Amino acid sequence: MAEQRIPLAKAINAALEAALSADPKVLLMGEDIGPLGGVFRVTADLATKFGEDRVVDTPLAESGIVGTAIGLALRGYRPVCEIQFDGFIFPAFDQITTQLAKLHARSRGRLTVPVVIRVPYGGGIGAVEHHSESPEALFAHTAGLRVVSPANPADAFVMLQEAIACPDPVLFFEPKGQYWAKGDVDLSAGPYATGQSVATQFDTLNTAKVVREGTDVTLIGYGPTVVTALKVAQSAAAEGTSIEVIDLRAISPIDFPTLIESVQKTGRCVVVHEAPVFFGAGAEIAARLTQECFYHLEAPVARVGGFHTPYPPAKIEHDYLPGLERVMDAIDSVLAY
Amino acid sequence: MAETPWLPHNEAEPTVQLVLPDGSENTDTQWDHYRNLVKDVDAATWRTWYRDMALMRRFDEEATALQRTGELALFTQARGQEAAQIGSVHATRAQDWIFPAYREHGVLQVRGVPLKEELHLFRGVDHGGWDTEKHHVHLNTLVISAHTLHATGYAMGIQRDGLVATGDPDTDAAVMVYFGDGATSEGDTSEALNFAAVNQAPVVFFCQNNQWAISVPGTRQYRGPLVRRGAGFGVPCVRVDGNDVLAVHAVTREAMERARNGGGPTFIEAVTFRQGAHTTSDDPTRYRGTDEEQYWSQRDPVERVVARLRAMGAWDERFHTEVTHEADEFAAELRTYVRSLGRPASSAMFDHVYATPHAINQTERDWFAGFERDLADGEGGH
Ligand SMILES: Cc1ncc(C[n+]2csc(CCOP(=O)(O)OP(=O)(O)O)c2C)c(N)n1
């Protein structure tokens, strides 16, 4: 095992490198991803290593990036697109939702479109508008797209490889606020790193992970909110409350069996994401858990997340984001039943 | 001239230029038409331009310094683009409208938008909501090129209002939209050009080709010269030395006149250079060389105005000192103002989301107020 302690951004870089090395059909496309290495340096040095033909600085046009990626995929390539920031994915929304998502079904399964769209997302970094949003629900709402988000470097490394190897289109949401958070990564894991570039198992794209066991409340997060959830669990433990933390990882599909098993045990559940609560992933989770765990639930499923407002200016973003206090408050509310 | 591989389209395309980099007049007769358009530009006008450009540059320096000291989260630097912005905005009239991108500090300043208010956005206290009606300047648009369509639609509205080609120079109005070379790649820009052409809308597309879209040079952004971009849509195009304030003024004046007179849109490519970084978060040394920076520093737009004023005998140290003094005061006020900008109330995020009552907005606002109260009372308890 080649285990290394590296930041999440570096883990993504390593996954891209593994895929580029193992499969000549893999190519990266995006704005400023070449010599600059991306505005977050996630693709640093890859243009030097693999050439600007495979790590392509595209013209500034998101619809163009995704639209041509679809064409390249139809021709047998595996494009991995980078959208520079969450708020700039929308010029490509048409291509993603009307084309990318539907081609497999429309061709009655004849065509596959293995495009990965990497999106740095989430807030808390003090940025100007359009640079801190969490639009994942818009894509999870669209059948035909897989939507995932890693919360730590080890998962990022494997999940991105599986996303690239997967014949389905994958929206890969990267918690940009966690880019520099380090974790241990097994650099020999994942379909490309293990040298079997044709994967048949896509475990991490389909499964949630219990990251801390507990008995009183199930706390579900993904991407940037897993760290928050773990902190909450830690301080709750000091007060005698045992919280089970689940990292969802996949937002489409959602691994309901894992969630149900946990909630049947705890009887209480809180979901936390940065995206607005209104019509957010938490709504889907709450509804299904209510249906599946009705007789086990001691309290309604609580949701914590962004508000039904535009993402606010940086000075007050921490009051928009679901911080420790608001998650604790929700935990208290479900325990109060 | 040094080899300039970064300017692949430059040599071939005719580029309007009236003042040479050394400040002397360009006597090339092919530009007589434009020269005649700006015959009225006298020493006083040149001094006004110099002052505006000097203040714009000072703003850039001050805002950059404020970012470095942590007072601003970010700043979009515009050093090097002074002539493109000041020369063009001076071709607008009070009744005209401007749609900026996010680097048009000089344009805003000349239109009277308090630049300190623009800094709200970069300090993170609000999204930049200055009084658009007062200055006829729409808000900044950070989503590349989205506003090219808004400008076109706005111009279509002016046209429907019958405020084009009335013959009254104080009534006829047009719209100018600013965007970069990178923005020309977005579909929105092409759609805007087409809508403008089909409707003969009174809108001028002012493209500041500053050679870079963050780290991506023109060579990777487009193949055919940008100046030819409009032709296929039936939009007249002109390419201008964007560091020559007089030439910029001449081509923009003509384009705005055409628009106001019912002659429809024009596409202007102003060839300039972003001397600074894309933003204060960017590091240009990662993607461009000093040879290029040197090439452009020899074509600095502010120095060219000074040289021109000198050549005209209209430059003196007293004037220089006056402007420098004004810039010092402007910078000092900016500093004080920015530092005094407090944190907005957190509840401000719920404001103005809708123009009419919306139950979800109201419920969440109320919930948040209660939550804040409980926290303050210590009931949150964590
Ligand atoms: C739709 C969209 N995609 C990406 C970005 C990120 N971005 C901000 S500025 C920029 C480059 C813009 O270059 P250009 O249009 O030449 O204008 P300049 O910044 O040079 O003035 C990019 C890619 C964005 N703001 N909007």
Atom of ligand 1 nearest to the CA of A90: 1
B362 and B259, same domain (yes or no) = no
Question: Is B254 within the bounds of a domain?
Answer: yes
Look at residue B7 and tell me if it is in a domain.
no
> Among A131, A141, A296, A308, which one carries the catalytic annotation?
A131
Q: What does the alpha-carbon distance between residue A80 and residue A72 come to, in Å, rounded to a whole number?
A: 11
For residue B139, give the CATH number of its domain.
Answer: 3.40.50.970
Same structural domain, B242 and B206: yes
- Does some domain include residue B13? no
B361 with B252, same domain: the answer is no
Give the model's pLDDT for residue B128.
Answer: 84
Cα–Cα nearest to B243, from B288, B306, B285: B306
Indicate the number of domains in chain B: 2
Q: For ligand 1, say whether the CB of B183 is within 6 Å of any of its atoms.
A: yes
What is the residue with the minimal CA distance to atom 17 of ligand 1?
B180
Domains and CATH numbers, chain A: 3-205 (3.40.50.970), 208-335 (3.40.50.920)
Q: What is the mean pLDDT of residues A148-158?
A: 98
Q: Is B182 in the pocket of ligand 1 (CB under 6 A)?
A: yes
Query: What is the structure's pLDDT at A200?
Result: 72
Q: Whose CA is nearest to atom 20 of ligand 1?
A: B213
> Band of the pLDDT at A201, cuts 50, 70, 90?
confident
Question: Any catalytic annotation for residue A104?
Answer: no
Cβ-based contacts under 8 A for chains A and B: 124
Pocket perturbation via mutation, ligand 1, pick of A40, A84, A95, A133 by most ligand atoms within 8 A of CB: A84
> pLDDT tens for residues A231-289?
999 999 999 999 999 999 999 999 999 999 999 999 999 999 999 999 999 999 999 99
* Interchain proximity A39–B371, CB inside 8 Å: no
Q: Is B147 in the pocket of ligand 1 (CB under 6 A)?
A: no
CA distance A221 to A208: 10
Contact between residue A245 and residue A211 where contact means Cβ atoms under 8 Å apart: yes
Chain B residues in contact with A316 by the CB 8 A cut-off are 343-346, 348-349
**Nearest ligand 1 atom, CA A32:** 23
Strand pairing report for A78-82 and A116-121: parallel
pLDDT (tens digit per residue) in A56-88: 999 999 999 999 999 999 999 999 999 999 999
Q: Which tokens go with A298? A: 């001691």
| Residue B12 lies inside a defined structural domain of this protein | no
Q: Tell me the pTM.
A: 0.96
Compute the average pLDDT of residues A306-315.
98
pLDDT at A196 over 80: no
Distance CA B308, CA B296 (A): 18
Q: Which chain A positions have a beta carbon within 8 Å of B345's beta carbon?
A: 316
Q: Which residues contact A291 (CB under 8 A, 6 or more apart)?
A: none
B334 and B358 both lie in a single domain: no
The pLDDT of residue B54? 98
DSSP H/E element including A117: strand A116-121
Best residue among A58, A81, A83, A88 to mutate for probing ligand 1, ranked by most atoms within 8 Å of CB? A88
Residue A69 burial (CB count, 10 A): 29
Residue B309 lies in a domain: yes
Same structural domain for residues B372 and B334? no
If we measure between CA atoms, which residue out of B93, B103, B109 comes closest to residue B48? B109
Please indicate, yes or no, whether residues B153 and B263 belong to a single structural domain of this protein: yes
Residue B174 lies in a domain: yes
What are A228's two structure tokens?
């928050």
Residue B220 Cβ contacting ligand 1 at under 6 Å = no
User: Residue A60 and residue B216: Cβ atoms within 8 Å?
Assistant: yes
Strand B175-180 to strand B237-241: parallel, antiparallel, or no bridges (unpaired)? unpaired
A84 lines ligand 1 (CB under 6 A): yes
Q: Which residues of A touch B216 (CB under 8 A)?
A: 31-32, 57, 59-60
Closest CA to B296 of B62, B104, B23, B21: B21
Cα→Cα distances A139→A56, A96, A290, B33, B242, Å: 25, 8, 23, 54, 42
Q: Is B210 in the pocket of ligand 1 (CB under 6 A)?
A: yes
Question: Which residue positions in chain B have pLDDT lower than 50?
Answer: 1-3, 8, 381-382
Which of B221, B348, B375 comes nearest A60 by C-beta? Answer: B221
Using one digit for the tens of pLDDT, what is the confidence trace for B6-22? 554 556 789 999 999 99
The closest CB to that of B348, out of A87, A129, A316, belongs to A316
Q: CB distance B364–A57 less than 8 Å?
A: no
| Residue B124, phi then psi, degrees to nearest 5 | 85, 25
Q: Both B155 and B286 in a single domain? A: yes
Q: Do the chains contact at B213 and A278, CB–CB below 8 Å?
A: no
Q: Per the CB < 8 Å rule, is A325 touching B380?
A: yes
**Chain B residue nearest residue A127, CA to CA:** B73
Q: Check pLDDT > 60 for residue A93.
A: yes
Chain A nearest-CA residue for B369: A319
CA dihedral A260, A261, A262, A264 (to 10 degrees): 80
Q: Which residue in chain B is spatially nearest to A67 when comparing CA positions?
A: B187
This complex has an ipTM of: 0.95
Contact of A220 with A270, CB cutoff 8 Å: yes
Rg, Å, chain B Cα set: 22
* B297 & B369 share domain: no
Interatomic CA distance for residues B321 and B327, integer angstroms: 10
Q: What is the pLDDT of residue B8?
A: 45
**Pocket flag, ligand 1, residue A93 (CB < 6 Å):** no
Please provide the average confidence, as pLDDT, over all residues in chain B: 95
Return the structure tokens found at A30.
């995006």
Beta-sheet strands, E only, within chain B:
97-99, 175-180, 203-209, 212-213, 216-217, 237-241, 266-271
Note whether B286 contacts A308, CB cutoff 8 Å. Answer: no
Question: How far is it, in rounded angstroms, from Cα A326 to Cα B213?
Answer: 40
In this structure, the answer to whether residues B267 and B366 fall within a common structural domain is no
Closest-CA residue of chain A to B362 = A308
Is A310 in the B-facing interface, judged by CB distances under 8 Å?
yes
B314 & B358 share domain = no
Domain presence at residue B171: yes
Are B224 and B362 in a shared domain?
A: no
Tell me whether residues A91 and B348 touch, CB distance under 8 A: no
For residues B71 and B382, give the distance between their C-alpha atoms in angstroms, rounded to a whole number: 31
Atom of ligand 1 nearest to the CA of B278: 19
CB contact (8 A) between residue A61 and residue B346: no
Kindly report, residue by residue over A36-46, the tens digit of the pLDDT: 999 999 999 99
Asked if residue B163 and residue B62 are part of one domain, the reply reads yes
Please give the distance, rounded to the nearest whole angstrom, from the Cα atom of residue B278 to the centre of ligand 1. 9
Averaged pLDDT of chain A: 97
Question: Which of the four pLDDT bands, split at 50, 70 and 90, describes residue A199?
Answer: low
For residue B222, what are the domain limits? 29-340
A63 vs B188: CA distance, rounded Å:
10
